A and B are shown apart, each in its own frame.
Chain A
């Protein structure tokens, strides 16, 4: 079953001479449980694609289905409901609510979805534990390191057990160590069968996905399966002997 389906999706900015085809007639199917990476140089339209798939922006043309529901034409309320229940976001600049503690940030989607404060609290505790931040639950975001903040953001994205997690350059603001922290988390998500679509220009991050789509100037130029080891590493060490 496809969690996300995109058909002939188009997004243009500006007019005439300044016309930019950010996304130019793209088709994409993301089956459940797949971890998909979209890569490409900056300005290739990959972030726009992600925003379109989440209903954060409206497309100029084409269709987007999320869990069989068409979202490119959905109203604000329907989109809000969809974001609450079906989508989890992770951003490059974390976008934690600065006024709320780590735990409260994670509770927020649960409360928004109508969960009881007790349920929200329980879920936040469980998720923060899962991302290894149980002891930082009561801190405000600015007291956390970049890697910790992004782990809180991942926990928050998972709060309502979304159908798909959408991540926009999740390691773009992180150093190598923090990148590994976050990538380990994504590897766990992949192992758990969580559907993830992430946008990145970092090959190492993209390489953790099952499948990799390359974008140039608003179109897909390549669609590669990365799953399954070729034993290349073992060969490398054998040669080293």
Chain B
């Protein structure tokens, strides 16, 4: 969540309200369950960590929110590192999805390349898991856990294929 909000600010400074809106749009149907207050809490934490700053803008009378948030240099660094990072043990779907959306919006990274990198990593892991599966004798219980890991990785890889299809089409458009 923190990283996603930072990445969205990388494109341009925004109101908290707009950030919430963009986050919700990126999450699609899942965004409905997101609490609007969450954005402000996160922004406050990020500000405390020195990753964002805010300045008051002259808002219109009907919009009470006048804080416009922007990334600090430290914030920029953090975003770049997050985008490049692939070696998390368990890719979190929501996080990766938001990363792709943020990368595409901020143009800090090509989503298709992010997918490829992720896939390479997952394939390596799958290769390792699969070899371990095949090394187990047939019908052993130890193999079961490995098989489960392999099947999950396989599912993730399939999802990545779908991501690549959609993001590469958007890049072409």
- In the complex, A touching B, CB below 8 Å? yes
Which residues does A use to contact B, with CB under 8 Å? 41, 180-181, 183-184, 187, 202-204, 206-209, 212, 222, 224, 226, 229-230, 232-233, 235-236, 239
**Quick check: which of B14-22, B34-42, B100-108, B128-136 contacts chain A, the rest being far away?**
B128-136
Q: List 13 A-B contacts (CB under 8 A).
A: A180-B134, A183-B130, A183-B134, A184-B134, A187-B135, A202-B154, A204-B126, A207-B123, A229-B128, A230-B125, A233-B125, A235-B89, A236-B89
A191 → chain B, closest Cβ, in Å? Answer: 10
In-complex Cβ contact of B127 among A41, A202, A226 (8 A): A226
Asked if A203 contacts B158 (CB within 8 A), the reply is yes
Asked if B126 contacts A203 (CB within 8 A), the reply is yes
Besides the contacts A204-B150, A224-B120, what 11 more A-B pairs have beta carbons closer than 8 Å?
A: A187-B131, A203-B126, A203-B154, A204-B154, A207-B126, A208-B127, A226-B127, A229-B128, A229-B131, A233-B128, A233-B146
* Given known A-B contacts A203-B123, A224-B123, A232 and B133 have beta carbons under 8 A apart: no
A109 → chain B, closest Cβ, in Å? Answer: 27
A49 → chain B, closest Cβ, in Å? Answer: 19
Asked if B123 contacts A206 (CB within 8 A), the reply is yes
In-complex Cβ contact of A232 among B120, B128, B146, B157 (8 A): B128
Determine the residue in chain B with the shortest Cβ distance to A234: B128
B155 → chain A, closest Cβ, in Å? Answer: 9
Asked if A232 contacts B125 (CB within 8 A), the reply is yes
Q: Which of A204, A206, A229 has the most CB of B within 10 A?
A: A204
Q: How many A-B residue pairs have CB under 8 A?
A: 64
Q: Which of B133, B150, B151 has the most CB of A within 10 A?
A: B133
Residues from 108 to 159 in B contacting A, C-beta threshold 8 Å: 116, 120, 123-135, 138, 146, 149-151, 153-154, 157-158
For the complex, count residues of B whose C-beta is within 8 A of A: 26
Complex CA distance for A183 and B153, rounded to whole angstroms: 17
Asked if A204 contacts B130 (CB within 8 A), the reply is yes
Collect the chain B residues with CB atoms within 8 Å of residue A222's CB.
Answer: 116, 120
B146 → chain A, closest Cβ, in Å? Answer: 8
Complex CA distance for A212 and B157, rounded to whole angstroms: 14
Interface flags for B39-83 (1: CB within 8 Å of A; 0: not) read: 000000000000000000000000000000000000000000000
Main secondary structure of the interface of A (DSSP, over half): helix
Which residues does B use to contact A, with CB under 8 Å? 89, 116, 120, 123-135, 138, 146, 149-151, 153-154, 157-158, 161
Collect the chain A residues with CB atoms within 8 Å of residue B89's CB.
Answer: 232, 235-236, 239
A88 → chain B, closest Cβ, in Å? Answer: 21
In-complex Cβ contact of A230 among B128, B133, B135 (8 A): B128
Asked if A233 contacts B132 (CB within 8 A), the reply is yes
Determine the residue in chain B with the shortest Cβ distance to A186: B134
Collect the chain A residues with CB atoms within 8 Å of residue B133's CB.
Answer: 180
Complex CA distance for A41 and B165, rounded to whole angstroms: 11
Collect the chain A residues with CB atoms within 8 Å of residue B158's CB.
Answer: 203
A230 → chain B, closest Cβ, in Å? Answer: 6
B110 → chain A, closest Cβ, in Å? Answer: 14
Complex CA distance for A160 and B116, rounded to whole angstroms: 39
Complex CA distance for A212 and B129, rounded to whole angstroms: 16
B129 → chain A, closest Cβ, in Å? Answer: 6
* Given known A-B contacts A226-B124, A232-B124, A41 and B134 have beta carbons under 8 A apart: no
Collect the chain B residues with CB atoms within 8 Å of residue A181's CB.
Answer: 138
* Given known A-B contacts A41-B161, A187-B134, A208-B134, A226 and B129 have beta carbons under 8 A apart: no
In-complex Cβ contact of A203 among B131, B146, B149, B157 (8 A): B157
Determine the residue in chain A with the shortest Cβ distance to B122: A203
Collect the chain B residues with CB atoms within 8 Å of residue A212's CB.
Answer: 123
Complex CA distance for A37 and B116, rounded to whole angstroms: 17
Collect the chain B residues with CB atoms within 8 Å of residue A203's CB.
Answer: 123, 126, 153-154, 157-158
